[in-house]
Structures are given as C-alpha cells and as structure tokens.
Amino acid sequence: MRIGELAEHAGVSTRSLRYYEAQGLLRARRAANGYRDYGDEDLRIVREIRSLLDLGFGLEEIRPFVECLRDGHETGDRCADSIAVYRHKIAELDACIAHLSEVRQRVSGQLQRAIEVRTTDPRCEFSPCVSE
Amino acid sequence: MRIGELAEHAGVSTRSLRYYEAQGLLRARRAANGYRDYGDEDLRIVREIRSLLDLGFGLEEIRPFVECLRDGHETGDRCADSIAVYRHKIAELDACIAHLSEVRQRVSGQLQRAIEVRTTDPRCEFSPCVSE
DNA sequence: CTAGACCTTGACACCGGCGTCAAGGCCAGC
DNA sequence: GCTGGCCTTGACGCCGGTGTCAAGGTCTAG
C-alpha cells in the first residue's frame, strides 16, 4: 500500500502520515523506487492515532498506544502505559473542566454586576441599556 | 511614567506592554528623547488587560473593554460591546466545558473497558494486571 | 569621561499538527 | 517520447502571547 492509498483508507492527508513518521509513530518499508510501502497493521495504527487525536490526545501521549499495537496486542490500550495515559488524561480533563467552570462563574458574575450597574447608571436613562 | 515603571506597577513585562501597543490596545505619548510616556489611565488599562487575559480572553476580545475605559467609563465592562463579549465568552465556555465533559466520558469508558479486558486476558495470568 | 541602568526598534524562538508550495524522481498509458 | 498522476525531501506559515538577544541611543552619578 502506498502513502496515497493509506491516506485515503484512513481519511487523513499524506502530509499527516509523513508527520507521524517523522515523530516516530509510523514506520514504513521502502519499495525499490523509494516509495513508502505500508501494510494492514499500519492502517490500524493510523486509525488508532486518529481516534486518539480526535479525543484531544497529543502525539506524545499516543505513542504508548502505537507501541502497544505494534507489540501485537489487539487494541492499543491493552498495555499498562496506555492505561496510565488514560488516567493521566482524565485527571487533566477534570482539572481543565474545573478551571473553566470557575472562570465561567467569574465571568458570569462580572456580567451580572456590569448589567446591574448599567441599569442604574444615570447616563443610561435615555438610552437602551439592557435589551441588547 | 516610563515603560519600566508602568511594567512594574502593573506586574507585566515591558515586552508585553510594547506588544499591547503594537496590537493597538495601548497608546503612549513620547517624551522628547523618544521614550514612551504613560499616565495613570494607562495603568488602569493595563490592569484591565491583564485581568481579562488571566480569565482567558484574547487581546481581540479585550479591545472593547479598553475602548470603553478610554471613553471615560469607570470600568471596562460598562459598554454594550464589552457585555456582548462577556456573553459570547460564557457561551464559548459552556460549549468547551460540554465538549470536555463528553470527551471525559468517552475516555473514562475506554479506560473501564481496557481494564476489564486486561483482567480477563489469559496472557495476564502470571503478571500483575490491575494494580498499577 | 565613563560605567551602567534605562530606553529604542527589529527579529527569531516557542508550541503542535498540519497546509501548502517548490523542485525533482518514477511510472503507466497513449 | 510525452503527459499527468503519483511519489520524494525540504522548508515556510499559522496562531498568540511572550522570552530573549542584538545593536544602538539617552541620561545620571561618580
């Protein structure tokens, strides 16, 4: 399978595939003419990469999953390192969500206060202050 | 007030101040020798910029707040444009939080499934599968 | 006069996953 | 042999706020 075919099967650009290779996540045999040559396992690897990227993982975090697949496991998350990445990501997500929630509270409070001030501001008595 | 003093009072780097100016958020009179010269109003503007940046606003979003302050209002959020930015940001935060929550659910599900598979995988009968 | 603390503009680096263009090699069909 | 579609490597751009370095001007205290 050449790079264009793999790209089409996996639904990614050839640029991305070369990038994954540059990052050490993908390896390719070379045909006699220098073209990259991929097998079915590589398609599974790329699919694993894509689904994790879509979930918000970075390529560095995805590395253990790829190694796990390459070790012959049926899925990339069957190895301890991958599990650890899952746990780490969940903690990260929790922290991020908590942070955003607090920010949301703060902004919401600012908004309330700003609206109240505007409705009582004498300079607003002849202009529409609330509706917008 | 020169740029170093303003930076110290506001707790930011001079680099940042020059950047805010390049983005059109800060304006400076120039002394005879070419040095930037700031007033107290500029300090308030920089403080506004910082607190909004810390909340996760981008400089473009902060622009209305600065203009509001420059229009002579007591706070940067007393103008309709600023209020609109608040609302927009809250919606953005809600969307982001919702997205992250869903991702968290998905990752959490993957983790559960992966752990279950590992505990029943025959290859694990001689190795510690769960504890890590 | 000079050291040194301030100021000036300009420009590169970072991060991460690509898009995109350039210049060139390989190969199948006409 | 030529066209066109695939492939190769290399390199720049993006985004956003800032660190950092360079090369030079300004001013003050000793």
Contact flag B114-A55 (C-beta cutoff 8 Å): no
Q: Long-range contacts for A39-44 (Cβ within 8 Å, ≥24 apart)?
A: A39/A1, A40/A1, A41/A69, A41/A70, A42/A1, A42/A6, A43/A1, A43/A6, A43/A9, A43/A10, A44/A69
CA distances from A108 to A18, B52, B54 (A): 45, 13, 15
Mode of pairing for the β-strands spanning A36-37 and B36-37: unpaired
pLDDT exceeds 70 at position A131: no
Residues B82-111 have a mean pLDDT of 97
Q: Please answer whether residues A61 and A89 qualify as being in contact, where contact means their C-beta atoms are separated by less than 8 angstroms.
A: yes
Q: Write the DSSP string, A31-86.
A: -TTS-EE--HHHHHHHHHHHHHHHTT--HHHHHHHHHHHHTT-SSTTSSHHHHHHH
For residue A96, list chain B residues with Cβ-Cβ distance below 8 A: 100
- pLDDT tens for B39-71 read 999 999 999 999 999 999 999 999 999 999 999
Q: How far apart are CA A49 and CA B18, in angstroms?
A: 41
> Binning pLDDT at 50, 70 and 90, where does residue B99 land?
very high
Determine whether A60 is exposed, middle or buried from the number of CB atoms within 10 Å of its CB (0-12, 13-18, 19+).
exposed
Residues A13-19 have a mean pLDDT of 97
Q: Is B132 inside a domain boundary?
A: no
Residues A47-64 have a mean pLDDT of 97
Contact flag A97-B97 (C-beta cutoff 8 Å): yes
- pLDDT tens for A104-127 read 999 999 999 999 886 766 554 443
Q: Is B67 inside a domain boundary?
A: yes
Contact flag A103-B97 (C-beta cutoff 8 Å): no
Q: Is A105 inside a domain boundary?
A: yes
Q: Which of B44, B99, B35 is nearest to B68 (CA)?
A: B44
Can you give the pLDDT at residue B127?
40
Strand D proximal to A9 Cβ, under 7 A: no
Q: Is B131 inside a domain boundary?
A: no
* Residues above pLDDT 70, as percent of chain B: 89
Structure-model confidence comparison of residues B4 and B127, the more confident one: B4
Count the domains in chain A. Answer: 1
Residues A24-47 have a mean pLDDT of 97
Can you give the pLDDT at residue B117?
81
For A93, which of B56, B93, B103 is closest by C-beta distance? B103
The residue range of the domain holding A76 is: 3-124
For residue A59 the two structure tokens come to 């390529």
CA distances from A3 to A19, A24, B44, B74 (A): 12, 16, 56, 61
For residue B2 the two structure tokens come to 């020169």
Number of A–B residue contacts, CB under 8 Å: 85
In whole numbers, what is the pLDDT of chain A averaged over residues? 91
pLDDT exceeds 70 at position A23: yes
Q: Is A129 inside a domain boundary?
A: no
* Residues above pLDDT 70, as percent of chain A: 89
What CATH number does the domain containing A100 carry?
1.10.1660.10
Contact flag A106-B55 (C-beta cutoff 8 Å): yes
Residues A75-103 have a mean pLDDT of 96
Q: Is B129 inside a domain boundary?
A: no
For residue B90, list chain A residues with Cβ-Cβ distance below 8 A: 104, 107-108, 111
Can you give the pLDDT at residue B122?
59
For residue A52, list chain B residues with Cβ-Cβ distance below 8 A: none
Can you give the pLDDT at residue B126?
41
Q: Which of A32, A35, A73, A24 is nearest to A6 (CA)?
A: A35
Residue with tokens 């917008």: A132
Strand D proximal to B12 Cβ, under 7 A: yes
- Per-residue buried b or exposed e for A63-89, using 16+ beta carbons within 10 Å of the residue's own CB: bbbbbbbeeebebbbbbeebbebbeeb
For B87, which of A86, A89, A111 is closest by C-beta distance? A111
Selected residue of A48, A87, A111, A127 to mutate for chain B interface (largest B Cβ count, 10 A): A111
Q: Please answer whether residues B118 and A69 qualify as being in contact, where contact means their C-beta atoms are separated by less than 8 angstroms.
A: no
Structure-model confidence comparison of residues B124 and B11, the more confident one: B11
Strand D proximal to B130 Cβ, under 7 A: no
The residue type found at A10 is A
In whole numbers, what is the pLDDT of chain B averaged over residues? 91
Residues A10-30 have a mean pLDDT of 97
Residues B106-123 have a mean pLDDT of 84
Q: Is B72 inside a domain boundary?
A: yes
